[in-house]
Homo-oligomer: A and B are copies of this chain.
Amino acid sequence: MTERSWWGWGTTDRALGDDECVAAAAGLPGLPARPRPVPGIPDLPAPRIDAPASVPVSTDPVLRASHTYGKAYRDVVRALAGDLRGAPDAVGCPRTEAEVVQLLDWAGSAGVAVVPYGGGSSVVGGVEFRGDGPWLSLDLTALDRVLEVDRVSRAARIQGGALGPVLEDQLRPHGLTLRHFPQSFEFSTLGGWLATRAGGHYATLHTHIDDLVESMRVVTPIGVSESWRLPGSGAGPSPDRMFLGSEGTLGVITEAWMRLQDRPRFKASASVGFPDMATAIAAVRAISQAALYPANCRLLDPGEATLSGASSSGPVLVLGVESAAHPVDGRLTELLDLARDGGGTVAPSSGGGRDDAADAWRSTFLRMPYVRDGLARMSAIVETFETACTWDRAEELYATVSAEVGAAVEQVTGAPGLVNCRFTHVYPDGPAPYFTVIACGRPGSELAMWDDVKVAAMEVLGRLGATITHHHAVGRDHRRGYDRQRPEPFAVALRAAKAALDPAGILNPGVLIDPV
């Protein structure tokens, strides 16, 4: 039986040991010789709420501690420092939708803020609370069942609290899969993906979970909203699109009918090296505009390629195609032809249908959050941010963000750090660049140092007209960038919609919008 970490990513058995922490930080000079110890759970403030016995809440300290933060770098640093002053007064543990209704009713009447919590993997301050009053973390993971499968339409009705592996296990006997695999897959839920417009497995076409939604069921404080199961509709503005990305401010997503895929039977992948980023970006653009829709189309810049072990000599493009219906070798050939036409060199494969660079990448990808926690214990700064922009600005964005965030790192830490980039998703009109920052922090100052770097990152993204987030969501940490990006009349409309659906203003206050 594995145990979830209360302070860091995933399960405790997979956390890095002290020696592994030291080894992971080997390339970073000037850090402490040994990792900060993982503290025990500190004493928590006394709960300020007094719910009737019929309301399913718990004040168990371990539960409260593990629901204090999400899983951003700054969350891990605060937890490691033993700072749990902001812990929820209680954790709501509804087992049914009726209990969700009951909890919202009680919280509304008691004036208790409610922060919906799925897997708790937010990296943007989406599941914590920064107000002064009492608050409840609403853990939805008991609502974890696949309720209905429609094999003919390839769709299933799934409860919002189902973690990735939990819902895939229930779909597997039907030969179906949602095929939504964010990095957080193991520790995030369907409802969380929908509430945050999560980005998934597919690098092209159906990149966000949004496109996989057939209908949604959302508990709002004024009633349950349920849209009809439809493959497409033109009846007014889409109700689902209002709740997608609402990040718990408008309601709690308890169920959704999701579009599924047959399990892929045919797969092929390859990696392509490029002499420089300008050439690579132009080639990826050509691929993105050819309507070939690779499942994977991940461009690693030189730093990222080196870090992941995919290459040490320049940018690498990892391409993958898959299909449940027909062989994909022809499509991979067309993709590789485009890559070669664009100046790429296709890497020799190791045989067996898998590709070395792709394998190296995947293994690094899944282990990265644990390594991040180990580095955080070494007082390193390790965080990511991501964006999207149109192709006409892509090269400038890559260069400018890399340079300016690099300069901010050097200014803040007194030494150069790593600022790597990969394109996680690409569209015909632009890429979604994803940046990783690794630098040496000073013990006790890591948080302030990262926050300064983040301000610089938000500033340059906003100045270049790139989105504040492609799939990490807004939460509380991105408010500055989001407020700049969001059209003001839309803000007015959203505030009005929020006030109408959540008149007591209890739902995730501080996320997306401020109260009227």
Contacts and interface: CB of A to CB of B under 8 A. Distances in A.
A474 interface: yes
Interface stretch (A13-21, A36-44, A312-320, A422-430): A422-430
Contacts of A467: 228, 230, 232-235
A225 interface: yes
A231 interface: yes
B262 A234 contact: no
Interface stretch (A78-86, A406-414, A482-490): A482-490
Contacts of A487: 225-227, 239
Contact of A154 (B208, B262, B289, B482): B289
A472 B236 CA distance: 10
A496 B500 CA distance: 6
Interface string A397-436: 0000000000000000000000000000101111110000
A197 B242 CA distance: 16
Contacts of A154: 289, 428-429
Contact of A214 (B259, B324, B390): B390
A326 interface: yes
B501 A234 contact: no
A389 B231 contact: yes
A233 B470 contact: yes
Interface in A475-516: 478, 482, 485-490, 492-497, 499-501, 512
Contacts of A207: 232
A243 B234 contact: no
A238 B228 CA distance: 20
A231 B499 contact: no
Interface string A281-295: 000010001111100
Interface residues on A, range: 35 or more
A199 interface: yes
B432 A231 contact: yes
B230 A389 contact: yes
Contact of A153 (B246, B292, B392, B489): B392
A245 B472 CA distance: 27
Given A390-B214, A429-B214, A242 B493 contact: yes
A142 interface: no
A153 B150 CA distance: 38
B236 A153 contact: no
B392 A150 contact: yes
A325 interface: yes
B232 A237 contact: no
Interface stretch (A53-61, A164-172, A216-224, A350-358): A216-224
Nearest to A391: B153
A198 B233 CA distance: 10
A469 B233 CA distance: 6
A134 to B, nearest CB: 26
Interface string A235-258: 111110111111100110000000
Contacts of A243: 237
Contact of A235 (B150, B229, B390, B485): B485
A338 to B, nearest CB: 8
A465 interface: yes
A390 B488 contact: no
Contact of A289 (B225, B242, B262, B496): B262
Contacts of A250: 493
A1 interface: no
A339 interface: no
Contacts of A246: 236-237
A210 to B, nearest CB: 8
A469 B238 CA distance: 12
A136 interface: no
Contacts of A495: 500
A32 to B, nearest CB: 36
A270 interface: no
Interface in A282-335: 285, 289-293, 323-326, 330, 334
A271 B99 CA distance: 54
A336 interface: no
A356 B63 CA distance: 68
A473 interface: yes
A486 B235 contact: yes
11 contacts: A153-B392, A222-B489, A230-B467, A232-B432, A234-B470, A235-B473, A238-B245, A242-B490, A259-B429, A291-B325, A493-B500
Closest 8 CB pairs of A and B: A231-B430, A496-B500, A231-B427, A241-B241, A493-B497, A225-B489, A197-B234, A225-B487
